Structure 1
Amino acid sequence: MPLSIDAIPTLESNYVWALHDGRHALLVDPGASAAPLRWLAENGLALKALLITHHHWDHTDGIDDILAEHPVPVYGPEDRRIPQVDHPLREGDHVDIEAPEAHFEVLSVPGHTSIHLAFFGHRIVLCGDALFSAGCGRMFEGTPEQMLASLDKLAELPADTRVLCAHEYTVANCRFALAVEPGNEDLRERAREATALREKGEITLPSRIGAERRFNPFLRTREPAVIDAVRAHDPDCGSDPVEVFAALRRWKDDF
């Protein structure tokens, strides 16, 4: 039975992604417990596992309360900052769950944090805070080299891969991206679409990798238009992709 996907809003901008088959469910990055627990109860679903991408509180604070009601395996990074993880994972590992039937390849995507995973399978990527629609996560612990390599890895996924990131940042990300590439028609259309969806109270996700390649500036640091915009903003920036990415991220941090 194919996996159904629901986004459970939590906190100010987070989504806990729920993958289910109508009877059994997985939850991803529960930064709070009340909304996911309510969702499970209202839908009559049995929780079978938690998937965790990284240690930040808004992705992990709901774990203990959820486990108190649903003692299930917790798959996530091999990181002492997430003590609830009892199935530690690294690059190249696989997650195979019987119900709901789910199979994911584990990708290491550091940069936002020093240890960060993404889960790829079923034509979706659960990427936490590594990649957002029209944006990417801040570099709290990693280096520009790490972050660019992680984004390159995600950008190489099949074009129809659905991007299930953990925050509703699309409208704000599009505003910055338009400052970088105001003439990008794909980006302009994404900005119009995202704004219209939010005005109706609807989610802007998932996006798709192929679309992100066309309008996400952080996946386009080798494009002449992005390089020119970054160097116009920061004349000391060279044309090396890592330099361009680092300058672009600093620009976004101060935007």
Structure 2
Amino acid sequence: MWSYRHQNFTVHQLPALKDNYIYLIDLHNSEILIAVDPAEAVSISNFCTERDVRLTHIINTHHHWDHTDGNKALKEKFNAQVIGAADDAHRIPAIDITVSEHTPPAIDGLNISVLELPGHTSGHVAYLIDDALFCGDVLFGAGCGRLFEGTPSQMWDSLNKLAKLDGKTKVYCAHEYTLPNLRFARTVDPDNDALDQRIHRDTQTRMDKKPTIPSTIAMEMATNPFLRPLDEKFRNHYTGQAKVENDGLTIFTDLRQRKDRH
């Protein structure tokens, strides 16, 4: 487990399954403890037992089982409230409270915004709490989620929404996919010094058995190939390389298709 302190809460990062991360948001000077995308219940239960604390809330970014499988057991054990997107309520186990961009969850002591981000799934959302973004499977370290239910246009719009966040925003995504994503990034963005530096740094990080996550929005803007179409220099280079039109959506679509085959 790794922990990251923010102004009025601490994020505990728990590895789960093969490459998932579960996050626990521990609000300072309160009894509030929130699980984000509980892939399973055991690690969270153990955390609570060891620290003699109770889980109060569960927030889900989307309905996939590796983000919701712990919902029922944790709700039964702790009577935690389960929160998820209104558009995905029929697919989220044990949901109690539905949210949207216009109706974010009300949890005392936390300023939570909901971002609706279709693409990976049709009802995917992210939660922005101060400078911490819990984005599920929309944005990864140097990557983005596959388009299982949405369209390239939807995902591109969702990524553009994230690109407008403050560059210092911490990106807490739900999987450790960074190194494979960086290997693909090198093939489409070979002259990027920031990318070379990240590859070196994150490779060493994984060799030290540490997570490459959280990243930041600024780091993703500089090195994530699925955000790089926002950069004119990258677009011009990629247009000549891949023989596609020089607009962000077209380039993103081509990149996503290439990554799916990679």
Interval of TM-score (by shorter of Structure 1 and Structure 2): over 0.9
Q: Which residue is 2:15 aligned to?
A: 9
For 1:39-118, what aligned pairs fall within 5 Å after superposition? 39-78=47-86, 79=88, 80-98=90-108, 101-118=109-126
Q: Which residue is 1:241 aligned to?
A: 248
Q: Which residue is 1:251 aligned to?
A: 258
How far apart are 1:74 and its partner, in Å? 1.0
C-alpha separation between the residues in 2 aligned to 1:139 and 1:53? 15
Q: Which residue is 1:37 aligned to?
A: 45
C-alpha separation between the residues in 2 aligned to 1:228 and 1:21? 45
How far apart are 1:224 and its partner, in Å? 4.2
SS at 1:96 equivalent? coil
Q: Which residue is 1:125 aligned to?
A: 133
How far apart are 1:83 and its partner, in Å? 4.0
C-alpha separation between the residues in 2 aligned to 1:62 and 1:229? 45
Deviates more, 1:179-188 or 1:108-117: 179-188
Q: Which residue is 1:160 aligned to?
A: 168
Q: Which letter does structure 2 place at the counterpart of 1:34?
A: V
How far apart are 1:227 and its partner, in Å? 3.1
Q: Give the alignment's Cα RMSD to 1 decimal.
A: 1.6
How far apart are 1:170 and its partner, in Å? 0.9
C-alpha separation between the residues in 2 aligned to 1:43 and 1:181? 45
Q: Which residue is 2:156 aligned to?
A: 148
Q: Which residue is 1:174 aligned to?
A: 182
C-alpha separation between the residues in 2 aligned to 1:116 and 1:73? 19
Q: Which letter does structure 1 place at the counterpart of 2:91?
A: R
Deviates more, 1:85-94 or 1:6-15: 85-94
CA contact under 8 A between 1:77 and 1:116: conserved in structure 2? yes
For 1:192-211, what aligned pairs fall within 5 Å after superposition? 192-211=200-219
Could you give the per-residue CA deviations for residues 59-93 of structure 1, whole angstroms, max 9, x where no partner exists?
01111111121111111112211142211111232
CA contact under 8 A between 2:142 and 2:220: conserved in structure 1? yes
Q: Which letter does structure 1 place at the counterpart of 2:252?
A: F
CA gap 1:226/1:248 in 2 versus in 1, 3 angstroms: farther
Structure 1 outlier segments of 4+, above 6 Å = none
Unaligned runs of 5+ in 2: 1-6
Unaligned runs of 5+ in 1: none
How far apart are 1:232 and its partner, in Å? 5.5
CA gap 1:232/1:140 in 2 versus in 1, 3 angstroms: farther
Q: Which letter does structure 1 place at the counterpart of 2:67?
A: H
CA contact under 8 A between 1:25 and 1:48: conserved in structure 2? yes
The share of aligned pairs that are identical, in percent, is: 38
SS at 1:221 equivalent? helix
CA gap 1:118/1:126 in 2 versus in 1, 3 angstroms: same
Work out which of the residue numbers 8, 18, 23 in structure 1 matches 2:24.
18
CA contact under 8 A between 2:195 and 2:223: conserved in structure 1? yes
C-alpha separation between the residues in 2 aligned to 1:190 and 1:200? 15
C-alpha separation between the residues in 1 aligned to 2:236 and 2:208? 36
Q: Which residue is 2:3 aligned to?
A: none
C-alpha separation between the residues in 2 aligned to 1:18 and 1:159? 23
CA contact under 8 A between 1:180 and 1:226: conserved in structure 2? no
How far apart are 1:234 and its partner, in Å? 4.1
Could you give the per-residue CA deviations for residues 11-33 of structure 1, whole angstroms, max 9, x where no partner exists?
11100111103653110001111
How far apart are 1:162 and its partner, in Å? 0.4
SS at 2:105 equivalent? strand
Q: Which letter does structure 1 place at the counterpart of 2:21?
A: Y
CA gap 1:124/1:8 in 2 versus in 1, 3 angstroms: same
Q: Which residue is 1:227 aligned to?
A: 235
C-alpha separation between the residues in 2 aligned to 1:225 and 1:12? 37
